[in-house]
Structure 1
Amino acid sequence: MLTQFRKGWLAFTTTALLTLSVQASAENYTIGTGSQSGTYYPLGGMLAKIWSENIDNFDMRAEVTAASVENVIKVSTHKQLAGIAMGNVVEQAYEGTKPFPRKMDAVVLFALYPNVVQFMVPADSDIHSITDLKGKKVSLGAPGSGTRVSAVNILNALGVEEKDIQAQSLNYTATTSAIANGQIDAGAIVGSLGVGAITELALTRNIRILSFTEADMAKITAANPSYQLIEAPADTYKNVASFKAPAIWNVLVVNKDLDNKLAYEMTKTAFENMDKIRKAISVTQYTTLENMKKLDGVPLHPGAQQYLDEQSQ
């Protein structure tokens, strides 16, 4: 009887330990980023590291994705805890307009930094404006990416439709490779100033970034009020002249039903460790309490709003 009791107890404790192990591993999360050659991926990795090291029973990893659109959808459907996305994409998701089939359950945790719409061409190209792209081979970004959404928005605002160009659907790496090899005439990358993909291309090829006029910007902001003008100084990229381009804020999104306490803890932990993040990701110089609500039209998660209210007192 004693032996049977011991065997039964051993089986029970083994099962209990396995159950506890499964429960413990259930606190594994992902943050949706983008291409490994962009800014989203290292930033997402840094946030995941900070949260994992400072929040109890929290383990997160950065996931490579097609970026904004995919991240918003996955956050809204509970397939990712958080995701990085461009503000115009998040606004379209919140309103339920194309490319989204319905309103998405995504809200903002906090704003990150401005993303610049950068159209690259070879330095000796005869393309000097968006209208010059008509009839040309142009990469508009990967399907499901914020780059593609923004590139199309900009084209349309300036009277150019996809049917007017030979549109290619390439990610950051494929876009810069295609330009380097002369396979396309122009390519759009929407990212921070100094984004890695363009920086690397400029080291080996002579390129230009199209500069937008005041008249261009007036049309763009009339059609898409969330865009603002950014002036990039000369040598933002090697041998590239100064340029003016439309920009939109990137934000961190979470599901609107995310636990308030966890959302508060994620926000608090990120800002308390922002100095560490800035040492690794320079564009987070823009990630401040003052800029938390930079994106109009989409609310902050209540947990994030609670932290902001406390810090504003």
Structure 2
Amino acid sequence: MKYGALFIKVALLFCFITGCTFMNEQQEISKPATTLIQRQLTSEGQGLNNRMLIIATGDMSGVYFSLGQKLSYMYEKYNGAVSGTRITDASIENTELVSRHRAEIGFTTVDVLDLPETDRSKLRALTALYSNYVQIVTTKQSNIDSLEDLVGKRISVGTTGSGTRLIAERILLETDLPPDQLNLSYLSFSQSAEALRNGTIDAAFFSSGIPNNDIAYMSKQTELSFIPIPEDIIERLQKQYGVYTHNEIPSNTYKGMKKSVKTISIKNVLVTYDEMSDLHAYNLVKTFYEHLPELQDTHPAASDISIIEATKQVPLDFHTGAMNYFTEQGIIENQ
């Protein structure tokens, strides 16, 4: 029995290092064990600590995941970091993982930072990113043209732990729709897309950079419609939370779109924990911006990332190491 238990532990450790994915953890590591060990031994003294640099991302079809994969590659290539990504339910889960030191970096929307369950005292911002657009998607055959048409419909509002669910529920609360007449599901982006295609749901909320990969793929197979968010709801959300911006999904974003769609956008931010060393945080941000074109080639949403906007619209204290870099670059005045 002892040898059996030891074998299981060794097997689990091997799978973790070599990138096996477990249903409960869903963690990806991008290099085999021998390479990881070698890099970990050689990364000391390069300004990064010698623990694995885990980046908490999101759904595999989302922008967080693709950018996280590229960041992991960049930090290995330019910083000698032992790095990997972790698939999560996105924003809310990511802030929890980072605050508990179970990930070094996480992607999140800024509206999550004011939630009671978010421990802001343990989090620090590294840089502002691009914006997420709320995209409420349905199919032409559903005959849904407005939020009022969602009464009695089957709606996916995103997974528990996601920024999508947060903003979807906030939008629905601002409507006059009776809650007991909304049939809600809590699906990931990919699950929502599949459910829309096979007709098991009627509409789905996506809070994502544009274009969202799942929506883009769906638009090539199915005629889609996008539900606009009324101006009065946008204004109420802006007044109540202060982090939402009136925006539009451009008409050329997805196949079949005939006109732009009114919506709201939310700024994304890259966060770390408060105890990360100043030098470590400085080097992460420095690499991020020195090689930003590589990141921007990964997804069109990243084209909106700019060092000029790096410290704006983020209701969270920035890490001292990040501030040092931005001060050097003339983005902020010396404190």
TM category (shorter chain) comes to 0.7 to 0.9
Query: How far off its partner does 1:149 sit?
Result: 0.9
Question: 1:91·1:298 contact (CA, 8 Å) conserved in 2?
Answer: no
Query: How far off its partner does 1:243 sit?
Result: 0.7
- Paired position in structure 1 for 2:68: 44
Distance in 1 (CA, whole Å) between partners of 2:177 and 2:239 is 16
1:84 pairs with 99, 107, 132, which one?
107
Query: How far off its partner does 1:240 sit?
Result: 1.9
Matched, 1:219 2:236: yes
Which letter maps to 1:79?
R
Distance in 1 (CA, whole Å) between partners of 2:39 and 2:265 is 44
- Paired position in structure 1 for 2:304: 286
Question: 2:112·2:118 contact (CA, 8 Å) conserved in 1?
Answer: no
Matched, 1:136 2:136: no
Question: 2:51·2:82 contact (CA, 8 Å) conserved in 1?
Answer: yes
Distance in 2 (CA, whole Å) between partners of 1:302 and 1:283 is 27
Matched, 1:256 2:280: no
Question: 1:157·1:223 contact (CA, 8 Å) conserved in 2?
Answer: no
Counterpart secondary structure, 2:313? coil
Question: 1:249·1:294 contact (CA, 8 Å) conserved in 2?
Answer: no
Distance in 2 (CA, whole Å) between partners of 1:71 and 1:209 is 28
Which letter maps to 2:225?
R
Distance in 1 (CA, whole Å) between partners of 2:227 and 2:124 is 33
Query: How far off its partner does 1:77 sit?
Result: 0.2
Question: 1:112·1:250 contact (CA, 8 Å) conserved in 2?
Answer: yes
**Percent identity between the two aligned chains:** 28
Distance in 2 (CA, whole Å) between partners of 1:297 and 1:162 is 31
Question: 1:69·1:144 contact (CA, 8 Å) conserved in 2?
Answer: yes
Distance in 2 (CA, whole Å) between partners of 1:167 and 1:125 is 16
Which letter maps to 1:287?
I
2:189 pairs with 158, 172, 186, which one?
172
- Paired position in structure 1 for 2:90: 67
Deviates more, 1:225-234 or 1:109-118: 225-234
Query: How far off its partner does 1:156 sit?
Result: 1.6
1:245 pairs with 263, 268, 271, which one?
263
Aligned length: 287
Counterpart secondary structure, 1:124? helix
Distance in 2 (CA, whole Å) between partners of 1:86 and 1:103 is 13
Q: Taking structure 1 as the reference length, what is the TM-score of the superposition?
A: 0.86
Distance in 1 (CA, whole Å) between partners of 2:118 and 2:216 is 36
- Paired position in structure 2 for 1:13: none
Which runs of 5 or more structure 2 residues have no equivalent in the other structure? Answer: 1-36, 44-49
Question: 2:113·2:120 contact (CA, 8 Å) conserved in 1?
Answer: no
Distance in 2 (CA, whole Å) between partners of 1:285 and 1:74 is 27
Q: 1:291 to 1:159 in 2, by over 3 A?
A: farther
Q: String of CA shifts for 1:113-137, please: whole Å, max 9, x gaps.
A: 0000111011233322223322211
Question: 2:56·2:88 contact (CA, 8 Å) conserved in 1?
Answer: yes
Distance in 1 (CA, whole Å) between partners of 2:161 and 2:69 is 21
Query: How far off its partner does 1:230 sit?
Result: 1.6
Query: How far off its partner does 1:302 sit?
Result: 1.2
* Aligned ranges 1:1-313 → 2 under 5 Å: 24=41, 26-56=50-80, 58-92=81-115, 97=116, 100=117, 103=120, 105-160=122-177, 162-241=179-258, 242-312=260-330
Question: 2:113·2:315 contact (CA, 8 Å) conserved in 1?
Answer: no
Counterpart secondary structure, 1:248? strand
Question: 1:152·1:162 contact (CA, 8 Å) conserved in 2?
Answer: no
Q: Taking structure 2 as the reference length, what is the TM-score of the superposition?
A: 0.80
Deviates more, 1:69-78 or 1:218-227: 218-227
Distance in 2 (CA, whole Å) between partners of 1:299 and 1:162 is 37
Which letter maps to 1:276?
E
Q: String of CA shifts for 1:130-183, please: whole Å, max 9, x gaps.
A: 233222110000111111111112212334475441110100011011111111
Question: 1:155·1:161 contact (CA, 8 Å) conserved in 2?
Answer: no
Which letter maps to 2:63?
T
Q: String of CA shifts for 1:217-262, please: whole Å, max 9, x gaps.
A: 2122122220101222213110023211111011111012211110
Question: 1:31·1:82 contact (CA, 8 Å) conserved in 2?
Answer: yes
Counterpart secondary structure, 2:247? strand
Which letter maps to 1:61?
G
Which letter maps to 1:139?
S
